[in-house]
Structure 1
Amino acid sequence: MKLTNRLFDEIAIGDSASIRRVCTESDLYVFANVSGNLNPANLPDLEARFDTDGDPGTGAVAPSMWLASLIGNVIGTRLPGPGALYRAQTLVFRDRARVGDELQVTVTVVDKREPRLLLLDTRIERLGGASGGQSIAEGQAEVFAPARRIEIANAELPDVLVRRHEHFDRLLAACAGLPALPTAVVSPDDPDSLEGALQARDAGLIAPVLVGPASAIREVAAGLGRDLEGVDIIDVAHDDEAAARAVALVHEGRVRALMKGHLHTDALLSAVVRRTGGLRTNRRISHVYVLDLPGMADPLFVSDAAINIAPGLEEKVDIVQNAIDLARACGLAEPRVGVLSAVETVTPAIPSTIDAAVLSKMAERGQITGGLVDGPLAMDNAVDLRAARTKGIASLVAGRAQVLIVPNLESGNMLAKELVFLAHAEAAGLVLGAQVPVMLTSRADDARSRLVSCALAQLHDWWRAHGASRVAGAGRAD
């Protein structure tokens, strides 16, 4: 599409042009970033919200100057078009626009004056609904028409990505009203692990039982200015003993989840998988990363990037099933699972492609349940529909995968961390396959990551007990 301007002599009084535009939350955030105007009346998701009378409660309104910029859009692209220059603009705002409003912006020529000066009536109105056709803003613009013909391609501007993490917000909101999950926190004798556990307690996500050296835990709490009154502490001197005691608390029915504190992951998991007295089930344990990526319609689940180094086919069956179960607990009715490899064709020289094909067939035969499984898929045609179509892959999963199963730990770990550090994802995670979920928090995790990991454990616990997800949108057709 090309943009062509209209010269002064080609324009007649009464000529008109208009555009339609839907106001979105992203519009409000982008405008706030560009302008530096952080007025909470114009920003969704902030506590301070105002209606047109200045009273709280009706939600964010579109900035008036964002509305005015839409008039500039019509003038700069349609009437008179490229090369037009403003001299003046007046506006009277009759009402406010909000997210979801469809707006029509119209300019009409009411006078022509030399040299090349146009007087335009400008109007913004709301379309649809009970108030359809209602004027939001009216005014007059003085614009100099371009002096020469300009014809340009409709420029493709660089994409603007609004970095929001609504999926994690939704997961945390789904936990509201649930009883706190009794959780053994193993060796929380450093500031990061203890503070993370206490923040999760304060958020109502877990009811922590601190298992470790009591004197060290209390000393850390004092350094944090934290009061441990009312928190159960089981005094155990060494990490291995603390892990074993935490597992015993599960068997005693005192806790329904474990959280890693200031000890090595192997020390905790060795107690979990111990053949006698551990928390083994008939499944292999595996870790599932849950990633909130800006611009993606659902959370992305990646497994296994933390525990199983080079899983074989039998282990991958459990890895897939664990990931599907967590995705369902997080609100995906029938998760779409892409089994990744370097290529999307079954290639005997690449063993992961054979595993992927077998996993797909096992899902078809009901040996893996609850999700749609397809593979092998390369990363591009797993998550990008255009790439999948270009390569002629017809599948319910290709291009729309919500769960990614990686060939081995190295590839999964690199993928998850690339998404965090290069694609601005927020990450949380959970170990599944044991009798209870295990939260493997890390010193590198921020407070939000720890909280969401606790929310994952709480949601999975609820899903196992009730067979349904607490998350809004669960059961929707994807």
Structure 2
Amino acid sequence: MTVIKDLPSNNQLEYFIEQARQTTAITTAVVHPVEGNGLAGALEAAKQGLINPILIGPEHKIRQASEEINADLGSIQIVNTEHSHEAAEVACNIVRQGEAQALMKGSLGTSELLGAVLHKESGIRTERRLSHLFVFDVPNYHKPLIITDAAINVVPDLYTKKDIIQSAIDFAHALGNEHPKVAILAAVEKVKANMQSTIDAAALCKMADRNQITGGILDGPLAFDNAISKQAAIDKHINSPVSGEADILLAPDLEAGNMIAKQLIYLAGAQSAGVAVGARVPIILTSRADGVLARLASCALASYMVHHGRKI
């Protein structure tokens, strides 16, 4: 795959998809795809050569959904289950047996799927905290932008943030970025005793100095403006190797990350894709509001992770 630094501007997600098409499709357990939108996304990804789907859920509902969207399931494997909870458990079991390289969310709640993933005995958790990564193609930013965590960890503590950052760095490595730059966001650029996000940022940077976090270049606390704009950093007299060149934005909490992500989509015209990391395999978490591009790009990102061969 072509490395991230070679990506053209303004069609970055399409480029990820094109590169993933040139590799072997990854076997993906699609959990409870009983509605047309979710099933169509999996089938389109299969058509594009990104995934080899295993459809897991009530077979009669899956086939009914396929009829509603006029899709031919052909020889695609279907594993029949009674309900969504069983589908999530069966999908995790398939992963544990080495028969699937990724999970894909169908028509069930994220919490239900992740509950099965994180189950102490039957799940596919690892020692690292599960987290979510958005990858954005922002029209007025010169490279892909990763934002984490905007979907799973509500109020992450210091050690959870450590895992979130390390997973994001490893993910960037899978995309071909050998030295990703991480901006640890807060409302201000100075450490304030009454602002926990700034204290965490300072601690995380020192953890990187002590090799507790590896593979990236960290700086923080940084406000959003001087993380993204070199000129904003200059105006505020901030000398940072990350300002204006951030590859990864670490949000202080889920609410902040989610707001940044949706503002980029709805106000800045950004395109996005996303995956959950920290389990044995990448988890493709798509929303019912996601379009075809987001679904395909999310599958492509999972493909990068699998073919990179790195546990993230």
Q: What SS does the corresponding residue of 2:309 show, helix, strand or coil?
A: helix
Q: Provide structure 2 residue ranges, at least 5 long, that are not aligned to the other structure.
A: 1-8
Q: CA deviation at 1:222?
A: 1.3
Q: What SS does the corresponding residue of 2:127 show, helix, strand or coil?
A: coil
Aligned match for 1:246, one of 81, 91, 104: 91
Q: What SS does the corresponding residue of 1:175 show, helix, strand or coil?
A: helix
Per-residue CA distance 1:394-429 (angstroms, 9 max, x = gap)? 121123211100000000000000000000000100
Q: Which amino acid aligns with 2:175?
A: C
Q: Does 1:374 align with 2:239?
A: no
Match of 1:302 in 2: 147
CA distance in 2, matches of 1:408, 1:350: 13
Q: CA deviation at 1:465?
A: 5.3
Match of 1:456 in 2: 301
Q: Which amino acid aligns with 2:24?
A: P
Q: What SS does the corresponding residue of 1:349 show, helix, strand or coil?
A: coil
Q: Does 1:223 align with 2:52?
A: no
Q: What SS does the corresponding residue of 1:230 show, helix, strand or coil?
A: coil
Q: What SS does the corresponding residue of 2:212 show, helix, strand or coil?
A: coil
Relative to structure 1, the CA distance from residue 408 to residue 466 in structure 2 (aligned partners, 3 Å threshold; closer, same or farther) is closer
Q: TM-score, normalised by structure 1?
A: 0.62
RMSD over equivalenced CA pairs, Å? 1.3
Aligned match for 2:198, one of 349, 353, 359: 353
Q: CA deviation at 1:328?
A: 1.9
Aligned match for 1:431, one of 266, 271, 276: 276
Q: Does 1:334 align with 2:179?
A: yes
CA distance in 2, matches of 1:294, 1:181: 30
CA distance in 1, matches of 2:140, 2:195: 32
Match of 2:263 in 1: 418
Q: Which amino acid aligns with 1:239?
A: S
CA distance in 1, matches of 2:286, 2:311: 26
List structure 1 segments (4+ residues) > 6 angstroms apart after TM superposition: none
Per-residue CA distance 1:40-75 (angstroms, 9 max, x = gap)? xxxxxxxxxxxxxxxxxxxxxxxxxxxxxxxxxxxx
Q: Which amino acid aligns with 1:271?
A: A
Match of 1:273 in 2: 118
Q: What SS does the corresponding residue of 1:288 show, helix, strand or coil?
A: strand
CA distance in 2, matches of 1:379, 1:239: 39
Instruction: Specify the structure having the higher radius of gyration (Cα).
Output: 1
Q: CA deviation at 1:169?
A: 2.1
Match of 2:231 in 1: 386
Q: Say whether the 8 Å CA contact 1:165–1:426 is kept in structure 2.
A: no
Q: Which has the higher contact order (CA 8 A, sep 6+)?
A: 2
Q: CA deviation at 1:183?
A: 0.4
Per-residue CA distance 1:373-408 (angstroms, 9 max, x = gap)? 110000011010011111111121123211100000
Match of 1:235 in 2: 80
Q: CA deviation at 1:281?
A: 0.8
Q: What SS does the corresponding residue of 1:241 show, helix, strand or coil?
A: helix
Report which of the two has the higher share of helix: 2
CA distance in 2, matches of 1:382, 1:424: 19
CA distance in 2, matches of 1:245, 1:231: 17
CA distance in 1, matches of 2:131, 2:202: 21
Per-residue CA distance 1:66-125 (angstroms, 9 max, x = gap)? xxxxxxxxxxxxxxxxxxxxxxxxxxxxxxxxxxxxxxxxxxxxxxxxxxxxxxxxxxxx
Q: Say whether the 8 Å CA contact 2:54–2:76 is kept in structure 1.
A: yes
Q: What SS does the corresponding residue of 2:176 show, helix, strand or coil?
A: coil
Q: Provide structure 1 residue ranges, at least 5 long, that are not aligned to the other structure.
A: 1-163, 468-478
Q: CA deviation at 1:466?
A: 11
CA distance in 1, matches of 2:112, 2:31: 10
Q: What SS does the corresponding residue of 1:278 show, helix, strand or coil?
A: coil
Q: What SS does the corresponding residue of 2:21 show, helix, strand or coil?
A: coil
Per-residue CA distance 1:298-322 (angstroms, 9 max, x = gap)? 1000000000000000100011011
How many pairs are equivalent?
Answer: 304
Per-residue CA distance 1:158-191 (angstroms, 9 max, x = gap)? xxxxxx7321122112213211100000000000
Q: Does 1:203 align with 2:48?
A: yes
CA distance in 2, matches of 1:384, 1:419: 15
Q: Which amino acid aligns with 2:133?
A: V
Q: Which amino acid aligns with 2:125?
A: R
Q: TM-score, normalised by structure 2?
A: 0.95
Aligned match for 1:213, one of 44, 52, 58: 58
Q: Does 1:185 align with 2:26?
A: no
CA distance in 2, matches of 1:465, 1:206: 18
CA distance in 1, matches of 2:74, 2:21: 24
Report which of the two has the higher share of strand: 1
Q: CA deviation at 1:464?
A: 2.1
Q: CA deviation at 1:340?
A: 0.2
Relative to structure 1, the CA distance from residue 363 to residue 452 in structure 2 (aligned partners, 3 Å threshold; closer, same or farther) is same
